[in-house]
Amino acid sequence: MRLLIVEDEALIAQNLKKVLEIKGFATDWLSDGEKAKNRILMYHKEYDAIILDLTLPKVDGITLIKLVRAENITTPIIILTGRTETKDKIELLNAGADDYVVKPFSSAEMIARIASVLRRPAVVTKVVHEVGNITIDTATHRVSVDGAEIALTLKEYSLLECFVRRPGEVFTREELSNQVWDFDALTLSNVLDVHMKNLRKKVCATSNSVRFETVRGIGYRFIAEL
**Interface residues with Ca ion (CB under 5 A)?**
8, 53, 55
The distance of closest approach from Cβ of residue 54 to Ca ion in the complex, given in angstroms and rounded to an integer, is 7
Q: How far apart are CA 40 and CA 44, in angstroms?
A: 5
The conformation of residue 25, written as its DSSP 8-state character, comes to -
Q: How far apart are CA 3 and CA 5, in angstroms?
A: 7
Residue of minimal CB distance from Ca ion?
55
Biggest CA pair distance of the chain: 58
The distance of closest approach from Cβ of residue 6 to Ca ion in the complex, given in angstroms and rounded to an integer, is 9
DSSP run (H or E) holding 128: strand 128-131
The conformation of residue 188, written as its DSSP 8-state character, comes to -
Instruction: Calculate ∠ Cα 139-144-148, nearest 5°.
Output: 135
Helical H segments across the chain, by residue range = 10-22, 33-43, 61-70, 89-95, 107-119, 154-165, 173-180, 189-206
Q: How far apart are CA 224 and CA 226, in angstroms?
A: 6
Q: Which residue, 55 or 63, is less far from Ca ion as judged by CB?
A: 55
Q: Which residue, 6 or 117, is less far from Ca ion as judged by CB?
A: 6
Q: How far apart are CA 60 and CA 85, in angstroms?
A: 13
Q: Which residue, 64 or 131, is less far from Ca ion as judged by CB?
A: 64
The distance of closest approach from Cβ of residue 51 to Ca ion in the complex, given in angstroms and rounded to an integer, is 12
The distance of closest approach from Cβ of residue 8 to Ca ion in the complex, given in angstroms and rounded to an integer, is 5
The distance of closest approach from Cβ of residue 12 to Ca ion in the complex, given in angstroms and rounded to an integer, is 8
Q: Which residue, 28 or 53, is less far from Ca ion as judged by CB?
A: 53
Q: Which residue, 10 or 128, is less far from Ca ion as judged by CB?
A: 10
Q: Which residue, 7 or 28, is less far from Ca ion as judged by CB?
A: 7
The distance of closest approach from Cβ of residue 57 to Ca ion in the complex, given in angstroms and rounded to an integer, is 8
